Amino acid sequence: MHSLQNILRLGMKELYSLRRDAVLLILIGWSFSVGIYAAGTGFSTDLHNAAIAIVDEDRSQLSTRISQAFLKPEFRRPELISFDEIDPGLDTRRYSFILVIPPDFEKDVVRGNRPAIQVNIDATATMQAGIGANHIASILAQEIERYGKEQGQDASLPLSLVTRFAFNPNLSSPWFSSVMEIINNVTMLTVVLTGAAFIREREHGTLEHLMVMPLAPFEIMLAKVWANGLVIILAVSFALWVIVESVLSVPIAGSIPLFLAGVALYLFFASALGILLGTVTHSMPQFGLMFILLILPMMLLSGGETPLESQPVVLQNVMRLVPSTQFVSFAQAILYRGAGIDIVWPHFLMVTVVGLALFALAGLRFRKSIAAIR
């Protein structure tokens, strides 16, 4: 009971110290509010309001239908231009896509020939060019197939291929980017908060004051874990319920309380990692360099930014032992696919076991740093 009281009081001290640190408060507030909103809306892989023009040299019913098939929000209303306007339109970036429909296009389609439509693309916008080319190809194929069926041409296949996009049927990038921003911020800010708290105490001389008190090292560490973990959990709850669900209108498929329970388990690993980095570095610049060398690669290789399956097999096996990979896996399973505890419990167990082991290692390192101070 005496240890619990010490942990509670030390944690309150951490919260009071954080309250006076304006930079960290701004960082936390920005990361779980404006940062989430910016990630969901500022960078999009969707095609939106693309400028398109059509050179219609056929002037047929089919070419007219193709012109009318490009609709908002992916494309602006197509403009009909002459062949001589192609180069000036692309050079001045007035159009991103220009289609050239050749003469007798409709007749060739009716006869069963394979006429070609030229698609000119401004590829300086690389991502939009690639996505737009796929959209245009799909629209052309659909309109030509529909027109052929209306003309009595049997273009049916022995089987019907139906594509269904699970968990994100509209392929909307905010559904992915906003949630992944929260997942990444949990790791980043937990490590930064605990590591910065330890370095701040050493720089201000308060760590020496704690050494002369009847306190055990694990009490100091647990106080930092629960205090900074409480801040992270409250920030994550605000980001999910307010920013993601209310502001961005992104539906959460699974249980947010279950996800928060997983976050609480993961905080032992992330906090221990922050404390460990705080004991091996002596200033915030050194801590920042270690963060870049260790934490950023860990986040990039955890399966959030790139699929784990695309990495070399040896690296996959190593990363599956890292709790950050397990965290990304169960976070996506819960928030995207609505997974329950019966599915994610192995991830919870792995995160807990490795987190406690790293917490013990950080405790040993913390004891050595205390002995050096004494």
Give pLDDT, residue 257.
93
Q: Of 93 and 350, which is predicted with more confidence?
A: 350
Instruction: Count CA atoms closer than 13 A to 131's CA, side-chain side.
Output: 15
CA of residue 351 relative to chain centroid, distance = 20
Among residues of the chain, what percentage have pLDDT more than 70? 87
Give pLDDT, residue 262.
94
Specify the DSSP class assigned to residue 102. Answer: P
Strand, helix or coil at 50? strand
Q: Taking 50 as the threshold, does the pLDDT of residue 161 lie above it?
A: no
Tokens at 203, concatenated: 């720089």
- 319 neighbors 311 (Cβ within 8 angstroms): yes
How large is the average pLDDT for residues 364-369? Answer: 78
How large is the average pLDDT for residues 253-282? Answer: 89
- As a whole number of Å, the CA-based R_g of the chain is 28
How large is the average pLDDT for residues 16-34? Answer: 83
Model pTM score: 0.72
How large is the average pLDDT for residues 28-56? Answer: 80
Q: What DSSP string describes 160-223?
A: -------S-TT--HHHHHHHHHHHHHHHHHHHHHHHHHHHHHHHHTHHHHHHTSS--HHHHHHH
Give pLDDT, residue 372.
57
Q: Of 282 and 43, which is predicted with more confidence?
A: 282
* Residue 241 one-letter amino acid: W
> Per-residue pLDDT tens for 315-348?
888 888 899 999 999 998 899 888 899 999 999 9
> Per-residue pLDDT tens for 113-148?
888 888 898 877 667 777 888 888 888 888 888 887
**For residue 363, which of 157, 198, 139, 120 has the smallest C-alpha distance?**
198
Q: CB under 8 Å to 70, separation ≥6 — which residues?
A: 52, 77, 78, 136, 139
Give pLDDT, residue 214.
66
The ranges assigned to domains in the chain are 2-43+172-373, 52-150
Give pLDDT, residue 312.
83
The pLDDT mean for the chain works out to 83
Give pLDDT, residue 299.
86
Specify the DSSP class assigned to residue 52. Answer: E
Give pLDDT, residue 315.
85
Give pLDDT, residue 87.
87
Q: Taking 60 as the threshold, does the pLDDT of residue 157 lie above it?
A: no
> Per-residue pLDDT tens for 75-95?
889 999 998 998 888 887 788
How large is the average pLDDT for residues 245-271? Answer: 90
- 335 neighbors 254 (Cβ within 8 angstroms): yes
Strand, helix or coil at 80? strand
The topology under which CATH files domain 52-150 is: abc type-2 transporter like fold (3.40.1710)
55 pairs with which residues across the strands? 100
Give pLDDT, residue 354.
92
Give pLDDT, residue 263.
94
> Per-residue pLDDT tens for 208-219?
666 666 667 777
> Per-residue pLDDT tens for 290-323?
888 888 888 888 887 777 777 788 888 888 889 9
- CA dist 30 and 37 (Å) reads 10
- 11 neighbors 223 (Cβ within 8 angstroms): yes
- CA dist 95 and 328 (Å) reads 40
Strand, helix or coil at 79? strand
